Amino acid sequence: MKLWGGRFSKDLTTDTEGFTESIEVDSRMVLHDIWGSEAHAIMLAKQQIISIEDLEPIITWLNRAKEDFLTGNFQLKPELEDVHMNVETYLIEGAGREYGGKLHTARSRNDQVLVDARLYIREQLLTTHELLSQLIMTFLNIAREHFRTVMPGYTHTQHAQPITLAFWATAYASMFLRDLERLERAYERVNVNPLGSCALAGTSLPTDRQVTTKLLGFASTQEHALDIISARDFITETLFALSQMMANFSRIAEEIVYWSTYEFHMLTLDDAYALGSSIMPQKKNPCVAELTRGRVGHVYGNLLDMLTTLKGLPMGYNRDLQEDKPPLWAAFDTTQACANILTGTLCTAHFHTDRMAELVSANFSTATELANYLVQERHLAFRECHEIVGDVVGRLVQSDKDFRDLEATHSLLSEHGIDMDIETLTDVLDPISAIERNQSLGGTSPAEVERMEAISRECLQTTDIRRKTAQEDIERARQLTDQITNAVRSKQLDQAQQLIDEL
């Protein structure tokens, strides 16, 4: 019979038990559940809802549960439904119902599961943040080595204008920094204390919710009890942050796949990050990038999953909400693994700078420069310059030539009444000059890219500090709790009382 079974006249079928239990998902939250219970019990004692003497067996047995869990001696049982009932049962069996049965005073599983989830998600967000930071740093390191490595910039996957490899890498850094910011915002959304909302209505017992906020290191106490137990926007917001991050991962993955082709040949993967074929002996496949790209769907699916779950739910806790964890847990696993593998892949990849230089010269990528030159030096309307250069390119293509044939280019320009000396023409059409000249804010000039690289690096350091601060806040709260539980467990109840009074 379940702990909640008073009004029931029958046990669940095995099917029902199997269908409703959440042990696999909950197994990641055992320590968080116990911490939440420690904090709750201390608060009950502080508010004299239970006595300090009641507290002692509760804390002692919670601690044993923790130790047993860490040594593999306390394993969650599916027939006990969830982590909460498993821990409470462990406690009651250990400390007896007269003590263990007091822990669940003034709380419900509805708020308890939110505590557990928020504590766990908090950690996962920090881990994800760190892994993404490393990836961004990888892009910045690539940039540092390649401020003057010229390559074709693409739009529509066609050569557009010359850029540098550093410009390309800093674009990714800049893009991923916004993903980092979204993780931080999700962290703020998650890091609030739901404990004390109880089932949906608060409680008539004289609780003090600020105490658990402090003990669990939450930034603040979420207020409205019904809102607390009904809402899951902190889950969807986190899932969205991860989805957008995966979307961005899929873009770099796509470029790795194509840059590694025989045709592009702009990048060779390290053998440690590429796989072979069971049948074709010559193959070296960019599987790591393909799997990253292939896994974006998992995370999109996780987001849709949770949004679907929320659709049309009335207010109040509904059991549907139990299903908030599987998609989020999965999304963390996927995104963390992808962030990590992309870092390894990019750190070790070899960029073919010669090939890049070859490509940038071969296919009219400085046509815009030529048009801009005519604007500035010949004072023609840009639209006219565009048409002239377009015509020159079109006719060069027809005769299978490109700008490297300066004579032909010069002669075609002359037909439009443009008479540039070859030296100027050479300079205008030179990709290296072109990237130097684009000195507008955010443009390709090495000075500008160096500036942006430095700013991104600085920005990354600032977020590192914020992440470490968050980790320390958690650690500090953990220690505060430990200090009290240690005193209680070692039966120094006076000292414990004093510490509790100071909360």
Binding to a second copy, residues 463-502 (CB under 8 A): none
In whole angstroms, what separates CA 291 from the centre of its chain?
Answer: 17
Question: 328 or 487: whose CB is closer to a second copy?
Answer: 328
The residue from 86, 133, 372, 481 that contacts a second copy (CB under 8 A) is: 372
Of 78, 89, 127, residue with least CA distance to 470: 127
Scan residues 148-187 and list those touching a second copy (CB under 8 A): 152-163, 167-168, 170-172, 174-175, 178-179, 182, 185
Cβ 475 to a second copy shortest distance, Å: 26
Question: 181 or 494: whose CB is closer to a second copy?
Answer: 181
Cβ 482 to a second copy shortest distance, Å: 25
CA–CA distance, 501 with 370 (Å, rounded to integer): 77
Scan residues 188-247 and list those touching a second copy (CB under 8 A): 189, 196-207, 209-210, 221-231, 233, 236-237, 240, 243-244, 247
Task: Give yes or no for a contact between 112 and 33, defined as CB atoms under 8 angstroms apart.
Answer: yes
Task: Give yes or no for a contact between 102 and 62, defined as CB atoms under 8 angstroms apart.
Answer: no
Dihedral sign, Cα of residue 145, residue 149, residue 155, residue 156 = negative
The DSSP code for 147 is: T
Question: CB-based burial of residue 324 (10 Å sphere; 0-12 exposed, 13-18 middle, 19+ buried)?
Answer: buried
* Catalytic member of 9, 156, 204, 379: 156
Indicate the pairing of strand 267-268 with strand 350-351: antiparallel
Applying CB under 8 A, does 280 fall inside the site for a second copy? yes
The residue from 77, 220, 377, 382 that contacts a second copy (CB under 8 A) is: 382
Amino acid 119 reads L
CA–CA distance, 480 with 169 (Å, rounded to integer): 43
Q: Which stretch binds a second copy (CB under 8 A): 94-102, 404-412, 462-470, 487-495?
A: 94-102
Question: 387 or 482: whose CB is closer to a second copy?
Answer: 387
For the question of residue 277 being annotated catalytic, the response is yes
Residues with Cβ within 8 Å of residue 88, at least 6 apart in sequence: 3, 100, 103, 104
DSSP E strand stretches across 216-279: 220-221, 267-268
Question: 133 or 248: whose CB is closer to a second copy?
Answer: 248
The residue from 53, 350, 390, 424 that contacts a second copy (CB under 8 A) is: 390
Cβ 472 to a second copy shortest distance, Å: 26
Size of the site for a second copy (CB under 8 A): 207
Cβ 461 to a second copy shortest distance, Å: 18
- Which conformational region is residue 68 in: left (phi greater than 0), alpha (psi within -120 to 50 degrees), or beta? alpha
Question: 17 or 482: whose CB is closer to a second copy?
Answer: 17
Q: What angle do CA 70, 73, 76 make, to 5 degrees?
A: 90
Q: Concatenated DSSP letters for 288-305?
A: HHHHHHHHHHHHHHHHHH
Contacts with a second copy, 299-338, as mask; x by CB under 8 A: -xxxxxxxxxxxxxxxxxxxxxxxx--xx---------x-
Applying CB under 8 A, does 27 fall inside the site for a second copy? no
* Catalytic member of 27, 51, 220, 277: 277
Applying CB under 8 A, does 77 fall inside the site for a second copy? no
Cβ 479 to a second copy shortest distance, Å: 25
Task: Tell me the C-alpha to C-alpha distance, in Å, between residue 500 and each of 9, 119, 371.
Answer: 42, 22, 75
The residue from 98, 354, 458, 494 that contacts a second copy (CB under 8 A) is: 98
Scan residues 236-255 and list those touching a second copy (CB under 8 A): 236-237, 240, 243-244, 247-248, 250-251, 253-255
Cβ 277 to a second copy shortest distance, Å: 6
CA–CA distance, 446 with 162 (Å, rounded to integer): 12
Task: Tell me the C-alpha to C-alpha distance, in Å, between residue 72 and each of 64, 75, 76, 78, 80.
Answer: 12, 7, 10, 16, 18
Scan residues 401-440 and list those touching a second copy (CB under 8 A): 434-435, 437-440
Q: Which stretch binds a second copy (CB under 8 A): 128-136, 137-145, 284-292, 470-478?
A: 284-292
Residue with tokens 């075609």: 412
Cβ 358 to a second copy shortest distance, Å: 11
For the question of residue 156 being annotated catalytic, the response is yes
Question: 18 or 483: whose CB is closer to a second copy?
Answer: 18
Contacts with a second copy, 255-274, as mask; x by CB under 8 A: x-xx-xxxxxx----xxxxx
Scan residues 30-69 and list those touching a second copy (CB under 8 A): 49
First-to-last CA distance in the chain? 38
Cβ 45 to a second copy shortest distance, Å: 14
* Element at 40 (helix H, strand E): helix 30-46
Applying CB under 8 A, does 448 fall inside the site for a second copy? yes
Of 172, 193, 51, 165, residue with least CA distance to 488: 51
Active-site residues: which are they?
A: 156, 277
